[in-house]
Amino acid sequence: MASAIVNGIVKSKIINSENIYLYDKNPTQYTKFPDGCKSVDSITKACENANYIFLSVKPQNIKEVLAEIKEMSSGNKVFVSICAGITISSIESTLGRVKIVRTMPNTPLLIGHGVTALCRNNEVTDKEFSFVTSLFASSGFTTELNEDKINAITAVTSSSPAYIYYFIKSMLEGASRLGLEDDNLLEMICKTFIGSATMVMKDDRNVDELIRMVKSPNGTTEKALNVLEENNILETICKAMKSCVDRAEELTKLN
């Protein structure tokens, strides 16, 4: 996710790569970042050189990282977290009343079609928040949410690309069982997703009306939808999303 964010920033020319400092315990990760970014040999050196510090670590490791950078948290630095389940208050409990922006991005940032939800504490100025938002907007859509909605949005935008990949995988398997082996099959399925989603966004009709457009009475689509309804797929998806949020809440309590 960090490389997706940085690549978007550099491509948009908001910040030049030579003004971006990287630190990772695994130096092989640096190959994922644009040429010109400066890798350093300690997390404190990265923080010394940065006005905006991105915390891109697993939630389970955040306490360790915050302890390492605690001495660097004074001054006017803005800390930007992309850690699932990690609240602003939990970061403040270690760093104190510093400037914190909490974000929840998703992996399509890699191709410039990401979705990122953001919130902030009262220390962050409007100008600073606008700047952080612009960094994510360089790779997609952004929206500001109250922090109490961030765990919920994780299930809607951050984890959901995996649901969609799973559905595409399932359709590929279904096509194989039907004897379809066209080299363009994956592209056809993906473009059907893109076209359908575009219609939802641009057509004046709501989702139910669009379904009815495709579903002729007693036709092929109705038979397919009947199977989905009989297997309670809508409820299954809702349960999966709830499970996602529950895990985010667990991570919040752990920290």
CATH number of the domain that residue 48 is part of: 3.40.50.720
Residues 133 and 165 in one domain: no
- Note the pLDDT of residue 3: 87
Q: Which two tokens stand for residue 207?
A: 């989702």
Residue at 112 is within a domain: yes
CATH code of 194's domain: 1.10.3730.10
- Total domains, the chain: 2
Closest alpha carbon to 79 in 106, 62, 94, 98: 98
For the segment 176-195, what is each residue's pLDDT rounded down to a tens digit?
999 998 889 999 999 999 99
- Note the pLDDT of residue 208: 97
- Note the pLDDT of residue 8: 86
Residues 87 and 193 in one domain: no
Residues 122 and 238 in one domain: no
- Note the pLDDT of residue 94: 93
Cβ 105 vs Cβ 1: under 8 Å: yes
Residue at 104 is within a domain: yes
Query: Which contacts of 13-20 are long-range, i.e. CB under 8 A and separated by 24 or more positions?
Result: 14/134, 14/135, 14/138, 15/135
Range of the domain at 192: 160-253
Residues 168 and 224 in one domain: yes
- Note the pLDDT of residue 196: 98
- Note the pLDDT of residue 123: 95
- Note the pLDDT of residue 189: 97
Residue at 217 is within a domain: yes
> What's the CA gap between 113 and 136, in Å, rounded?
10
Evaluated on CA atoms 194, 195, 196, 197, the torsion sign reads positive
> What's the CA gap between 164 and 154, in Å, rounded?
14
Residue at 89 is within a domain: yes
Residues 115 and 135 in one domain: yes
- Note the pLDDT of residue 110: 85
0.75 surpassed by pTM: yes
Domain end point (choices 130, 150, 170):
150
Residues 71 and 141 in one domain: yes
Which residues of the chain fall below pLDDT 50?
A: none
Residue at 155 is within a domain: no
The values of phi and psi at residue 219, to 5°, are -95, -170
- Note the pLDDT of residue 49: 83
Residue at 197 is within a domain: yes
CA 58 to chain centre: 14
Residue at 123 is within a domain: yes
Residue at 126 is within a domain: yes
- Note the pLDDT of residue 4: 85
